Chain A
Amino acid sequence: DIQMTQSPSSVSASIGDRVNITCRASQGISNWLAWYQQKPGKAPKVLIHAASKLQSGVPPRFSGSGSGTDFTLTITSLQPEDFATYYCQQGNSFPFTFGPGTKVDLQ
């Protein structure tokens, strides 16, 4: 199985900050990577797929990069509604696996 790791596990940030979250796969997954945002009590919402493709309706302050084993989710100019937990997920091979999550909270 492909293991996904994320760093940091949590980050404290302020409104307007730039936030980078890193995701690493235990083996190469090309660009078969997605990022999700989850708020408490809610279902996750996809932000990015294919490593860098912005899902329809997602604000352009979210961006993704990377390929192979190393990926980054960047939030430029953090907004109040962005405080949430973020997960990466590999779709290269079954079983699909998620990273453990990165919680972004208010500094």
Chain B
Amino acid sequence: QVQLVESGGGLVKPGGSLRLSCTASGFTFSDYYMSWIRQAPGKGLEWLSYISSDAITVHYSDSVKGRLTVSRDNAKNSLSLQLNSLRAEDTAVYYCVRDRGYYFDFWGQGTLVVVSS
């Protein structure tokens, strides 16, 4: 079955950086687009980034553009997110999701990132 497992969350100081990883299994990772979505505590869902199956095309939300880098390693079935210059408002659960081009059909369990001194 399709599984997406995020790792790397935790407590990070303002101004710091975070790197999250997502390991995929149960499907041919290299055939699918992937995205990252986050959800601040008690808030709604915010799409952050899309990466094409071949990693050639990447799109970012304006809210994180310039601070966010997303990459993938199809040989390792893995997706990565690096977010720099962290602010309190980056506190959220970060989800790795399989992207079907216009909707998201499988989500990881999410990893919580807390930005606080």
A24 within 8 A of B: no
Known A1-B62, A49-B103; further 18 A-B contacts with Cβ < 8 A: A43-B107, A44-B45, A44-B107, A50-B102, A50-B103, A87-B45, A89-B45, A89-B103, A91-B101, A91-B102, A92-B102, A94-B59, A95-B47, A95-B62, A96-B102, A99-B44, A100-B44, A101-B45
Query: Chain A: which residue is nearest B95 at the CB level?
Result: A43
Is there contact, CB below 8 Å, between A49 and B100? yes
Which residues between 51 and 107 of chain A lie within 8 Å of chain B, taking CB atoms? 55, 87, 89, 91-92, 94-101
A11 within 8 A of B: no
Interface contact tally, CB-CB below 8 A: 56
A23 within 8 A of B: no
Min CB distance, A53 to chain B, in Å? Answer: 9
Q: Which residues of A contact B59 (CB under 8 A)?
A: 94-95
Min CB distance, B63 to chain A, in Å? Answer: 8
B31 within 8 A of A: no
Q: Which residues of B contact A97 (CB under 8 A)?
A: 47
Min CB distance, A48 to chain B, in Å? Answer: 9
Query: Chain A: which residue is nearest B46 at the CB level?
Result: A98
Interface residue tally for chain B (C-beta within 8 Å): 20
Is there contact, CB below 8 Å, between A34 and B44? no
Query: Chain A: which residue is nearest B102 at the CB level?
Result: A91
A46 within 8 A of B: yes
Q: Which residues of A contact B14 (CB under 8 A)?
A: none
Q: Which residues of B contact A95 (CB under 8 A)?
A: 47, 59, 61-62
Contact with B along A18-55 (1 / 0, CB 8 A): 00000000000000101010000001111001100001
